[in-house]
Amino acid sequence: MEFTFDTSRETAEKLDRADGLARFREEFYLGKGRIYLDGNSLGLLSRRAEQSLLSVLDSWREHGIDGWTEGPHPWFHLSEELGKKSAPLVGAEPEEVIVTGSTTVNLHQLLATFYRPEGKRTKILADALTFPSDIYAMQSQLRLHGLNPEQHLIRVGGRDGQTLAEEDLIAAMTDEVALIVLPSVLYRSGQILDMKRLTAAARERGIPIGFDLCHSIGAIPHQLHEWGADFAFWCNYKYLNAGPGGVGGLFVHRKHFGRMPGLAGWFGSDKSVQFDMEHHFTPAGDAGAYQIGTPHLLSLAPLIGSLEIFAEAGIGPIREKSLRQTRYLMELVEEELAGMGFSIGNPRADHRRGGHVSLVHPEAVRICKSLKEKGVIPDFRAPDVIRLAPVALYTAYTELWEAVQQLKWIMEEKDYERHEKKRGVVA
């Protein structure tokens, strides 16, 4: 390919000096001697997230039970408040988003609500490249309806094993499909699906459609309300840096407000009557209805500080820098690592590429072990993918340059051959 960057260290330093988001780097605990390129699995801790967690702890210490209604962040409405602050990141109206649950719990809630098999419409349409937890949830819900997942779960495959064609997904939207659940960004290859086009095709056919945004929220802009997507769900611990096990989020389009959630729980109640303790469930009139249990406050708290940073930085500049950094990283790889057996598995076009670069190599698992020893933190996905995720808020261009130099040394010296060709329990 034609290079658009000079791949010298001096150019990386110049790019860092011109970086309009560089000031946010000091917000994060980066780790001395470490180049962290795994923010698409777990984002780093920011000082503001740490302080908001400590603030909620302070409220617990100072107020006890009254922390539900007192203190700087009263707990009773905190999920709703954070939903409103998350809404711009997914292109939603404030009342269409709630911070609650986890990715898979929220998917179960949405499947229980929107999957309504009737007549010949009994099938769920998904893809063969999606994250396994989503498939497990869909299979589980099919079984609860007495249906065989082998017959009623459609999984569209990729033509190249790494990416999907929207044409193939649309062709599978037959009159037997009752619901569609797809990822916004494929977790291995980093391909962005054309959510607008897919939603329009689903609406034309009268099929509800929802998206898993785990690998896109905080990295790319969305317009869920405008597109007319029925629902979406996500985690907040990757690009949004809410911490391990951080509370997730979900979106439900306002056209579905007033619908009874499939899984009812007391925190989905209308707030004005929640403590009436009636055995008649009165759901909230917005996305808050899809909450189930009491919020996990200590896992919710870091998101308060993290969302402040996103509000200041803006998802537009974040996406712009992310695209520049992944482009720069790809060009470094192609120039510095030529002839070393690497191929780039993610789409090259900006509008098709998410927030990470996917390097394919038969020795990926051993290379990752050597990279970690050299202080470069990648992510391995079996059998042969190295995911490298520059995060716009805290990754420097010079770090990308240095990471590729370390990778070049590992390959030239065959340092990876020291390691067993076996992944760890957590990859």
What's the pLDDT score for residue 7? 85
Q: Which residues are catalytic?
A: 131, 212, 237-238, 387
User: Using alpha carbons only, what angle is made at residue 99 by residues 231 and 357, rounded to the nearest 5 degrees?
Assistant: 70
What's the pLDDT score for residue 182? 98
Binding residues for pyridoxal 5'-phosphate: 103-104, 131-134, 212, 215, 237, 266, 294
What's the pLDDT score for residue 19? 98
Please report the domains of the chain, with CATH numbers, ordered by start residue.
Answer: 9-46+314-414 (3.90.1150.10), 51-312 (3.40.640.10)
What's the pLDDT score for residue 63? 98
What's the pLDDT score for residue 222? 98
Mean pLDDT by 10 residues, the chain (427 residues): 73 97 98 96 98 98 98 97 98 98 98 98 98 98 98 96 97 98 98 98 98 98 98 98 98 98 98 96 98 97 98 98 97 96 97 98 98 97 96 98 98 96 78
Crossing angle of helices 302-313 and 78-90, rounded to 10°: 30
Binding residues: 103-104, 131-134, 212, 215, 237, 266, 294
CB neighbours of residue 400 within 10 Å: 24
What's the pLDDT score for residue 1? 39
What's the pLDDT score for residue 27? 98
